[in-house]
Structure 1
Amino acid sequence: MSDDKKIIFSMVGVSKVFPPSKQVLKDIYLSFFYGAKIGIIGLNGSGKSTLMRIIAGEEKSFQGEVVFSPGYSVGYLAQEPYLDNTKTVKEVVEEGVQNVVDIMKEYEEVNMKFSEPMSDDEMTKLIERQGELSDLIEQYNGWELDSRLERAMDALRCPAPDEKVEHLSGGERRRVALCRLLLQEPDI
């Protein structure tokens, strides 16, 4: 079955009650096909955020069943996203592609080790690891990482990359968090 015909997420009979007895969701049935675009519309307090937290796996206490197809990822932007205040804008945005950042860092570390004395076996292992990392960098388009991050931050009008997160306004924080999320390229 092609991905565009595959259901990647389903809710079956989902209900949510907040104590003592405020029901915000009742008997919800919902399915997403891969690539579907959806919108959730409702009055304040009607359960939109709760529904999104359930879809994202952030909310665990509810009745009913939620089924995720294996191999698909979920992204969620909280209304008040957590950002590490000790980091810069660029460091937070890089969290969205942390696997590529880690590969690039290890590649640099491997290259630095070539200047150190080592045995032939160690040199062979180092060359093999460098090749593996180079292949991964190619696979993830890591050589273009800096320009990709810059384009994403510019598109969302994020503050300067070296700006400390602790100095950002609420709107700037949300744009930085959204940039990080979009770089993760979640399926849902």
Structure 2
Amino acid sequence: MKRLVAFTGAGISRDSGIPTFVELGDLREKLSRSYFNSYPEDFYNILKEFRGKIKAAEPNAAQRAIARFDIPVITMNIDSLHSKAGSEKVLEIHGNLTYVFCPQCNKEYDFDEVYNSIYCPDCDKILEPNVVLYGDMIPGYEEAMKIIDSADALLVVGTSFYTSTAGFVVERAKSIGLEVNIINEDAKVAVPEYIEEFFKL
């Protein structure tokens, strides 16, 4: 059986009611390491607002189809909707909003901790989000490359290619001769149709 891997960006979650960064104006610039270092309170207010949208969201047909066919997922999204849809093989290369951690004493706390304070209860250091910010290295990059190397085809869904991560992933897939299919419009219809056709071949 041919092996398919999905690589997803913010566009796949649009049908779940989560706006893309492009639709959120200057949010992309504020999710940077420099902004976090300069304005941590404002940064966390932004994340808390975004998390509110995530908590209210449900997986859509595209995410459910990926889960139903047990397709490994590499996602740039921090909304955890692939896991919520039932996908078990999910690499969230930009992290998620499930927890925060202290960079000094290494303790982890549920994300809800920042609703009380953005400072570590033990050492008073500013808590770090489990999110890869613009300006950070991507810790899951090598793992993502291994997943791609194990595939026969790559399905790319909902990315504008503004983020360099998307370019790296697709270039890797093309460089090893994978079939690459890109769906950026009407994902909730196009993705299930593509997957069903793929596994019929």
TM range (shorter): under 0.3
State the TM-score, normalizing by the size of structure 1. 0.25
- For the pair shown, which has the larger CA radius of gyration, 1 or 2? 1
TM-score, with normalisation over the residues of structure 2?
A: 0.24
